[in-house]
Amino acid sequence: MADSGIPYILEAALASISEVLSLSWLEKPPVWLLGGSCGLLLHGVQLNAPPRDIDLYADLEDAEVLHSALSSYSVDGGPEEDYSGGCYSLRSRYRIGDARVELVCGFQIGSGTRRYAVDVQLLLPHALIQDFNGIGYMRLMPAAHELVFNLLRCRGDRCSAIANFMKVNLAGHLPLLQQLVLENGLDEAFGLQLETLLGVSTSIEI
């Protein structure tokens, strides 16, 4: 287990991903973000269990170029539309060494009347980019996204951990959180759940 809490198998795979997906010679390199438990651990979020795989997120427009770069690791032949679990995405699966990797493009999740769409271009200005020891450069999904995403998935344990992390610099996270709630039309009850987790009231405007 690395200092980050990420198992070495996944850390080595992340290093390969950092190199393969740099694509710096392209005029307009595709944009992708590391999400899920690996991204949360690199943020410094304290999780109850180590990650078991790697989750990469991108917009639909970048799916083809990213898959082409990762194609030598593909285990399913290419991107496929996935409608499981009340979600939609264009999903590709890879194996790098013994690590499982998923590239999820155009992700949308629906829960009752609630709908949330992942817009990587919108999230990008808020994404931490850092050269991580033993891994290389990674852009991390913002914590505000992870809180909304996991609350919609009813992952209470993970929501508490993310909220505790965000409370350290709540003012830095609230603008994006407000934007995600408003632009996705998430309802008042959802806002109240966020307020309970973060210990704020009027700061979140629904």
Burial of 77 (0-12, 13-18, 19+ CB in 10 A): exposed
- Report the candidate in 100, 90, 40 with the shortest Cα–Cα distance to residue 65: 90
Burial bucket for residue 119 (CB in 10 Å: 0-12, 13-18, 19+): middle
Q: Are 123 and 142 in contact (CB under 8 A)?
A: yes
CA distance 196 to 206: 14
- Which residue from 152, 143, 92 is spatially nearest to 117, judged by alpha carbons? 152
Domains with residue ranges and CATH for the chain: 8-198 (3.30.460.40)
Task: Please list, in sequence order, all residues whose beta carbon lies within 8 angstroms of the beta carbon of residue 64, skipping any fewer than 6 positions away.
Answer: 79
pLDDT at residue 206, as a whole number: 42
pLDDT tens track for 42-53: 999 999 999 999
Q: What residues in the chain have per-residue pLDDT under 50?
A: 1, 202-206
CA-CA-CA-CA torsion sign (10, 15, 19, 21): positive
Give residue 155's pLDDT. Answer: 87
Give which of 85, 103, 90, 89 is closest to 36, Cα–Cα.
103
Q: pLDDT for 118-127, tens place per residue?
A: 999 999 999 9
Instruction: Name the pTM for this structure.
Output: 0.92
